[in-house]
Structure 1
Amino acid sequence: MAGDIKIFAGQSGKTFATRICDYLGVQLGQSEVIQFSDGNLFVRIQETVRDKEVFLVQPIGLKPNDEFVEILFWLDAFKRASANSVTAVIPYFGYAKGDKKDEPRVSIRARVCAEAIELAGADRVVTMDLHSPQIQGFFKRPVDHLIASPILCAAFKRFAIENFVVVSPDPGFAKQARKYASQLGVSVAIGDKIRTGHDERASVLELIGDVAGKNALIVDDFSTSGGTLADIARMVREKGANRIFAALSHVLLDAKGVARIEDSPIELVIGTDTVINEHAQASAKFVTTSVAPLFAEALNRIHHSDSVSSLFDDIPEKVFAHAVLDAKVLS
């Protein structure tokens, strides 16, 4: 890559950004963050970025408020330091669930975040598996929306599971679940889920599709409490499924959520590293595959003004080769 590109990371993005840099063969930009005793954040760029193409890597994940505000401060700092362009690389866009006004007197949070990111100085955004793809329309600047399913499917294929069906936990994820099924060459079953409040609890009412005598792969974009995954896994088992697995684009579970998965019929959860989750990493039921190489390819193409959309249909083999992080195998 040319010398006028710079990749930096926020506090929560350093591991992911380092993997991007390792893939591209570049050095991570020098910077620091100081958090004062009152919780205020101070960010400083420790090298020149004048006339450079800057990429800032930071998820809005397990500490969404702090991580979001830090992104804004970094964008402002890069613009004030005369960077030529700044791309916000947000592997997980944490406020994407707030994508609509479906009850009185509530904020459309994803829209507020999008506008703030642009006003702070982002010229472009790169993210993965938004909870609602139409959130791209909240931005006036270009958004590159990457997809985790090819990487997750490749990881699942490593375990050579036969006679299985892809299961969507609810109708809202059915379209994406069909993409998984198409890539894996299997059928789909869909759970019917109802959520009545904002307490992260949902009830799975019914399962549409045949899972009897088959293995099951439950797929979803993310899980915060583990409740829906555990519930759909139990229903799938009640309907006659044999072995049960899950795949998540973003792993946001806390310790209680991980415990729910460990107590469920799910044998293994394959997740990505868009959010570095120590709770999941400590559990034998979780395997991580890296999507940092896919992001690296996207940044490389942006830098060279090449098509990013081609990554949806033709991912280079070296991306899959570099995606493997865990050596765990099924017994």
Structure 2
Amino acid sequence: MPKEEIKIFGGSTGKSFAQKMCDYIGIDLGKSEVFKFSDGNIFVKICETVRDKDVYLVQPIGLNPNDEFTELLFWMDAFKRASATSVTAIIPYFGYAKGDKKDEPRVSIRARVCAECIELAGADRIITMDLHSPQIQGFFKKPVDHLFALPILCDYVKRLNIDDLVVVSPDVGFAKQARNFASTLQVPVAIGDKTRKSHDEKAKVLEIIGNVKGKNALVVDDFSISGGTLVDIAMGLKERGAQRIFALVSHLMLSSSGAEKIENSPIELLISTDTVGNNSVISNKTKIVSVAPLFAEAVLRIHNRESVSSLFDTVPHSIINKPLN
């Protein structure tokens, strides 16, 4: 199908990412406007016809999750009321995925509530990346394309040519994903033993399972807000004889204070993606790799009725060989 029929729009925090996708595909970004009134109300407007079109809307739920989520719902409704044939919500980072279970009395399963609202507002399909828990896909009744940053991030790590590397998971919960990184990089894995006693974003690293003495370590996680876990693991690795320490997260959710912690830590380089436009992190220690081409490739395959899952097996060189930011 002609790629000119693809219509990609960007929400207030998704326009830069959407523009990168359009540049990869070779199309113009859809025209739209977002207003936020002084009382906090959000108003969205599509500035071109989308009747009988397959529409894709990019909006991460990240640094300002409540406004971004609300805006996403309004976009879904607007496109449906404008007679779009289908509407795909592209959510590079789905922040409320952290609320994936009822692990204490009288709490909401927030990820499930958000999934239902997005579908009720009009989404026919969802594309996202590195969910906090993969089973969250089951909260949606509509198709979910769950993309992975691993191939692109590992490609960058390989370019660094780090000797005696060991991949380190910050806790047991991320151990499976850490093993996937280690397998791709063909290096051993170590696991941190972390405990969290409250909801204050502070966790304590108790022990590190595995041999890290004399090795260079790559700490991997899906995201970090306070930077505390990454720094604690880095300190623990240094105490156990690790040499150079690197960190890798799929989503750059660091606060300004978190970025300062990383800056003053033994971590030599923090590698992440552009799923969240985070202007709080400006540092020579941070390297951002764009995954917008990967999302664009997924859109092309969906548009052409081709398999998206094959994209997980072999990422096209046109994506991983793109210049890095």
Moved over 6 A (4+): none
Distance 2:187 2:205 in 1: 23
RMSD of aligned Cα (Å): 0.7
Distance 1:3 1:203 in 2: 51
Q: How far off its partner does 1:324 sit?
A: 1.4
Distance 1:323 1:37 in 2: 40
Q: What is the identity percentage for the equivalent residue pairs of Structure 1 and Structure 2?
A: 68
Counterpart AA for 1:311: L
The residue that corresponds to 2:229 in the other structure is 228
The residue that corresponds to 1:169 in the other structure is 170
The residue that corresponds to 1:43 in the other structure is 44
Counterpart AA for 2:173: G
The residue that corresponds to 1:184 in the other structure is 185
TM-score w.r.t. the length of structure 1 is 0.97
Q: How far off its partner does 1:321 sit?
A: 1.6
Counterpart AA for 1:300: L
- 2:57/2:89 contact within 8 Å kept: yes
- 1:291/1:323 contact within 8 Å kept: no
Distance 2:226 2:118 in 1: 28
- 1:95/1:109 contact within 8 Å kept: yes
Distance 2:89 2:261 in 1: 34
Distance 1:160 1:314 in 2: 22
Within 5 Å, give how 1:54-203 maps onto structure 2.
54-203=55-204
Q: How far off its partner does 1:2 sit?
A: 3.1
The residue that corresponds to 1:310 in the other structure is 310
CA deviation vs aligned residue, 1:215-270 (integer Å, no higher than 9, x gap): 00000000011000000010011111000001110000111000111111100000
Distance 1:3 1:91 in 2: 23
Distance 1:184 1:313 in 2: 15
Distance 2:99 2:17 in 1: 25
Distance 1:283 1:197 in 2: 30
Secondary structure of the 1:322 match is coil
TM-score w.r.t. the length of structure 2 is 0.99
CA deviation vs aligned residue, 1:35-65 (integer Å, no higher than 9, x gap): 1000100000000000000000010000000
- 1:169/1:192 contact within 8 Å kept: yes
Q: How far off its partner does 1:204 sit?
A: 0.4
Distance 2:51 2:97 in 1: 32
Q: How far off its partner does 1:323 sit?
A: 5.5
- 1:292/1:323 contact within 8 Å kept: no
How many equivalent residue pairs? Answer: 324
Distance 1:323 1:95 in 2: 31
Q: How far off its partner does 1:4 sit?
A: 2.4
Any gaps of 5 or more consecutive residues in structure 1? 326-331
Counterpart AA for 1:209: G
- 2:166/2:212 contact within 8 Å kept: yes
Counterpart AA for 2:13: S
Distance 2:163 2:83 in 1: 55
Within 5 Å, give how 1:235-314 maps onto structure 2.
235-280=236-281, 282-314=282-314
Distance 2:323 2:228 in 1: 28
